[in-house]
Structure 1
């Protein structure tokens, strides 16, 4: 069966050229889940790898950066952050017509939807979420200079650049005019908290990790690093919390595990992070508003790619239904909270 974006014979030649031992005929299957980069499991019957590449149409600039994903994963291998082993990268797109990366296949449990979550007890669910927050804290604690990532991003002015970046991406992927989008971008335009430099994942939640099949509280690997950079760690935390909103189901096209009411509240997530990391949640409502804006643009981008004919999965057009709700939620956060850089208590807005 032909897989859009995959040429298995070209991949076989690519691996051989990179010195990877391929013991038999390669096969590929697309791994379900995710609406960003295409992800394939490639196997020779003995060994297995994961290949990732951008979508075949409707690219959102900076949201499908394969070189970035490979660089950060390689740098994090000696740290406490669990990642898959790096194997090879095609930065120019000579193999598949777009850049791609190959990493080791990490066996384990991927919890994407609430059916997957049903296999876990309540105690396991709590342990998994606590472990995820702890891994996020560990990521933000990595000395990025010590692992060679000092030029991986520009943390100074990161938040204000994020507002401008997502505003530009909205203009590129919007499928209709939404006044709330311009209002939210304008309301966030002067949000410039003091710079703090950390490696940020940019898309952190349970289905972007691989858990141990027997002990799911152990995170075997964090995956999907294409939006990582150096920036403000609270943007990672805020986006993880906004993902808890049930409207996120429309974005993923499934009843997402991360939106389940079996998980701790966003209050609990933010509180555990704050206590474990020692960070104050300053201007928390503004961080949450920015996270809503980002997710709204991502949702619109999914629908845009579907309209362009990309294989974005079933229900991709419905992702756009989440966009106005997320834009409105971001505006409500800013209207109901005075601008402050003082420490605030995280409140549940999901």
Structure 2
């Protein structure tokens, strides 16, 4: 690990990462001068932590760093993300190997780490031609997602050195308070009038969630943002996940929070209007063969042994949390703190998510 040296400038087109600085650092950390001839290309939409593919004659790796500018350190803690990935190596949860890390200074002027590049398919929107082309393959892809989540929740934190990774007692109540505070901050920072009109209903949803927190059945490692496009699937076997990514929200807590948020992202071919209105982010799961939400939940329950009677609370909380996350992004865009492109596709997402949260609490997940 390296943490000394001055902050490095960013190269044009690469906010937060200069290819020359990254390459020079990797040459030292990985012991190969060929890394000095590195090029960087961004991966993902960049709405949260920044991810870059680093290519050089020495090979390919992936660099992760926090967003550029003022951010909440606890929300973008590279050390926590690196720690959980390292701890899960060798378990049933597939994760990339961490290759190098910095606590600040070189190479990007902020904490960062480099992990191995896992070649595969990240299912986002349209599936690659020829991949999971049959309903049977898509069913296996859905089952693999459930299996890995169950595997994560079965890992003993003490065994992998994560006994102090979070405070599981009171996790759900703290989560409601945390995201309520985030919402108030987003409103103060400039959510538009259209989003502000939902403030009453969102505050009511927050109160309903806070007043009906279910009893946690089991405390486990939770991912915090588990969904199909945070996984890398095998290119030739849709029933195999090669890596789970984006661990920035991971902690110790209630595993059904992961399942609840996963179901918010899980689209179906035939949706009721309230579910369809809340689906702004791309997902391939409405294609034939992928299981229905109720089937995903049932498969998880069978494998985990957890009681799903309180599941509507967790799904409603997932809608609430995602609404707050997107509201924060919109606030930063409208304040000019981040590029306008980050609002693409989510301009009108907050109000329908709040409505979905109320719907699920009242009527269940069907």
- Of residues 60, 70, 92, the one that matches 2:82 is 70
- Measure, in 2, the Cα distance between the counterparts of 1:4 and 1:143: 38
TM-score by length of 2: 0.85
User: Following TM superposition, by how much is the alpha carbon of 1:330 offset from its aligned partner in structure 2, in angstroms?
Assistant: 1.1
Counting only pairs closer than 5 Å after superposition, residues 4-19 of structure 1 correspond to structure 2 as 4-19=15-30
Q: Is the 8 A contact 2:23 2:38 kept in 1?
A: yes
- Of residues 328, 335, 340, the one that matches 2:355 is 328
- Measure, in 2, the Cα distance between the counterparts of 1:88 and 1:187: 44
Deviates more, 1:1-10 or 1:23-32: 1-10
The answer for the alignment partner of 1:152 in structure 2 is: 165
> How many residues end up aligned between the 2 structures?
336
- Of residues 238, 246, 265, the one that matches 2:260 is 238
Deviates more, 1:210-219 or 1:9-18: 9-18
Counting only pairs closer than 5 Å after superposition, residues 292-311 of structure 1 correspond to structure 2 as 292-309=319-336
- Of residues 207, 212, 220, the one that matches 1:186 is 207
User: Following TM superposition, by how much is the alpha carbon of 1:218 offset from its aligned partner in structure 2, in angstroms?
Assistant: 0.9
- Of residues 194, 198, 202, the one that matches 2:220 is 198
- Measure, in 1, the Cα distance between the counterparts of 2:228 and 2:31: 31
1:212-261 per-position Cα deviation (integer Å, ceiling 9, x unaligned): 111121111000111111000000000000112545652x3xx3224556
The answer for the alignment partner of 2:14 in structure 1 is: 3
Counting only pairs closer than 5 Å after superposition, residues 1-350 of structure 1 correspond to structure 2 as 2-24=13-35, 25-33=37-45, 35-57=47-69, 59=71, 62-92=74-104, 94-116=106-128, 119-120=131-132, 121-174=134-187, 175-176=191-192, 177=196, 178-195=199-216, 196-245=218-267, 246-247=276-277, 249-250=279-280, 252=281, 255-258=282-285, 260=287, 263-309=290-336, 314=341, 316=343, 318-336=345-363, 348-349=365-366
SS of match in other structure, 1:116: coil
SS of match in other structure, 2:145: helix
TM-score by length of 1: 0.88
The runs of 5 or more residues in structure 2 that have no matched partner are 1-11, 268-275
> Kindly tell me: are residues 258 and 172 of structure 1, through their superposed partners in 2, closer, same or farther at Cα, counting changes over 3 Å?
farther
Deviates more, 1:210-219 or 1:30-39: 30-39
> Kindly tell me: are residues 296 and 117 of structure 1, through their superposed partners in 2, closer, same or farther at Cα, counting changes over 3 Å?
farther
- Measure, in 1, the Cα distance between the counterparts of 2:339 and 2:212: 33
User: Following TM superposition, by how much is the alpha carbon of 1:57 offset from its aligned partner in structure 2, in angstroms?
Assistant: 4.2
User: Following TM superposition, by how much is the alpha carbon of 1:82 offset from its aligned partner in structure 2, in angstroms?
Assistant: 0.3
- Measure, in 2, the Cα distance between the counterparts of 1:22 and 1:309: 39
Deviates more, 1:318-327 or 1:89-98: 89-98
